[in-house]
Amino acid sequence: MSIDLGIENLATIVTNTGMKPVLVKGKHVKSVNQYYNKMKSHFTSVLRQGKQTNEGLFTSKRIEKLHQKRYLKIKDVFHKASYYIVKLAQEEEVCKIVIGQNK
């Protein structure tokens, strides 16, 4: 089994057992990231309002909480994807998994 990692397609999976290639979409990760970047930008602009570039706070409890929620959501998506890949490998009785370039 060979896996190619990417952004649009989180993983592209191919085997030599005759199975059709499988795509694991990365669209959800991109949308979660985009949403949290937008929210962080908003909270930072409110926090930095009226301040010079080198004075005042750069983070807050709310921004730290936002980072934690983003981290947990993305970790959950990656865990579900890896579980799916391992389950697929077990079903196809694959003994080797190659990730990235096959040299």
**CA atoms within a 13 Å half-sphere pointing along the CA-CB vector of 56:** 12
Q: pTM of the predicted model, to two decimals? A: 0.80
DSSP 42-102: HHHHHHHTT--TTSS-S--HHHHHHHHHHHHHHHHHHHHHHHHHHHHHHHTT----EES--
pLDDT at 59 over 90: no
Q: Report pLDDT digits (tens) over 4-40.
A: 998 889 999 998 888 899 999 999 999 999 999 999 9
What is the Cα 89 distance to its own chain's centre? 21
Q: Does 52 have pLDDT greater than 80?
A: no
Confidence of residue 103 (pLDDT cuts 50, 70, 90): low
Q: What's the rounded mean pLDDT across residues 57-84?
A: 93
